[in-house]
């Protein structure tokens, strides 16, 4: 069985990610309390499901901080577990909430001051059955059902009722008491603090400069990867838009000659033949490529030995259109014969 855990900050695109996995045939559960994850996995294994995706975030309150040991236990049972953590810059998250006029989960104003009675929303795509809603009692949804779960959630499994009771009484009360009187930026900062324990245990995606279509494409790439091998990701970006939050290594190539100042090259990108020819004939660009290549080759075995699943190498120029794109593409071509490689261009997405 494959388990994809989606987590991250509110407003970072978790709903888009979960919907993409649902469209790919995954059994998807949104807003599941972390303490119920093991029971859910066990039930779906027995029901014959092979691919499931679960979204767990700050709405699970204190239980989200217990996720790392819970995931280790599930891995020991032979489940192939993958974690995807979505993030974005605070200014971007504040703007997204302001534009949609939605309350942040940690904002204690109005109706949001109480814990929402809708604990989780489970759904399974089925081409032949129309969606319908029904309350869940003593069991999880079966194949083909689309179920909205409200009120008290009950499992027949021993101990699950007690876990849920603890979530309602302890975690929910703690969350409600802790989220009073915060501004939106303060809510985002507090959410980062609550999610710190799980932010570094999986693949990190910064959605600051991504639209929904680009995020869907990146999620589709993510689920096709060979999990047994380290994935080497080369990402171009523009410093004027900020450094990617998901970068492990950052290289600044703004010192190279900028094709932007050539009127014929300005509208092109680092993937166009004219720009490639210009930078191929720039000695400094070749020296920069060789130095980054040698550095990555020198230290890549150490990252592999550290049991890293992903290594994100970010290449930045001013606008993220010419020099960084050119070098990210060239580095990806160099490493592709030996490594599992992805290449992404943030400003071109």
Q: Are 115 and 108 in contact (CB under 8 A)?
A: no
Residues in a beta bridge with 231: 310, 340
| Residue indicated by tokens 């020296």 | 287
Q: What per-residue confidence (pLDDT) applies to 122?
A: 38
Q: What per-residue confidence (pLDDT) applies to 289?
A: 97
Q: How far apart are CA 335 and CA 299, in angstroms?
A: 13
Please list the alpha-helical segments (H only) found in the chain. 14-23, 37-47, 67-76, 90-100, 160-166, 172-178, 184-194, 212-223, 273-280, 283-305, 323-335
Q: What per-residue confidence (pLDDT) applies to 267?
A: 96
Please list the alpha-helical segments (H only) found in 1-36. 14-23
Q: What per-residue confidence (pLDDT) applies to 22?
A: 93
Q: Are 271 and 323 in contact (CB under 8 A)?
A: no
Write out the DSSP string of 196-262: TTTTTSSEEEE-TT--HHHHHHHHHHHHTS-TTS-EEEEEEEEGGG---TT-SEEEE-TTS--GGGS
Q: What is the mean pLDDT of each run of 10 residues along the chain (349 residues)?
A: 93 94 93 92 93 91 83 91 93 90 73 33 39 39 40 39 41 44 88 86 88 90 77 95 92 97 96 97 95 96 84 96 98 93 92
Q: What per-residue confidence (pLDDT) applies to 159?
A: 43
Q: What per-residue confidence (pLDDT) applies to 162?
A: 43
Domains within the chain, CATH numbers bracketed? 2-205 (3.40.50), 229-348 (no CATH)
Residues in a beta bridge with 227: none
Would the pTM count as exceeding 0.85?
no
């Amino acid at each position: 069985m494959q388990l994809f855990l989606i987590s991250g900050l509110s407003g970072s695109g978790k709903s888009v990610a979960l919907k993409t996995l649902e469209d790919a045939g995954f059994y998807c559960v949104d807003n599941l309390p972390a303490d119920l994850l093991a029971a859910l996995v066990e039930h779906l294994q027995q029901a014959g499901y092979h691919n499931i995706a679960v979204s767990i975030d700050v709405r699970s309150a204190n239980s989200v901080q217990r996720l790392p040991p819970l995931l280790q236990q599930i891995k020991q049972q032979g489940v192939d577990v993958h974690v995807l953590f979505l993030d974005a810059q605070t200014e971007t998250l504040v703007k997204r909430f302001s534009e949609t006029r939605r309350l942040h989960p940690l904002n204690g104003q109005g109706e949001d001051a109480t814990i929402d009675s809708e604990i989780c929303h489970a759904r399974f795509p089925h081409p032949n059955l129309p969606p319908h809603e029904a309350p869940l009692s003593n069991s999880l949804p079966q194949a083909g059902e689309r179920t909205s779960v409200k009120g008290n959630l009950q499992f027949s499994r021993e101990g699950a009722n007690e876990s849920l009771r603890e979530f309602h009484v302890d975690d929910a009360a703690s969350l409600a008491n802790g989220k009073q009187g915060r501004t939106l930026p303060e809510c985002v900062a507090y959410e980062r603090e609550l999610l710190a324990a799980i932010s570094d245990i999986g693949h990190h995606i910064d959605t600051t400069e991504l639209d929904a279509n680009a995020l869907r494409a990146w999620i589709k790439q993510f689920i096709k990867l060979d999990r047994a091998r380290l994935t080497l990701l080369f990402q171009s970006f523009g410093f004027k838009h900020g450094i990617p939050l998901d970068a492990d290594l950052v290289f600044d190539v703004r010192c190279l000659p900028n094709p932007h100042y050539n009127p014929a090259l300005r509208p092109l990108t680092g993937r166009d033949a004219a720009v490639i020819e210009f930078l191929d004939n720039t000695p400094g660009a070749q020296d920069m490529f060789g130095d980054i290549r040698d550095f990555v080759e020198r230290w890549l075995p150490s990252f592999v030995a550290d049991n890293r699943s992903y290594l994100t190498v970010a290449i930045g120029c001013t606008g993220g259109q010419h020099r960084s794109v050119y070098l990210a593409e060239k580095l990806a071509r160099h490493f592709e014969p030996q490594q599992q490689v992805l290449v992404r261009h943030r400003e071109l997405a």
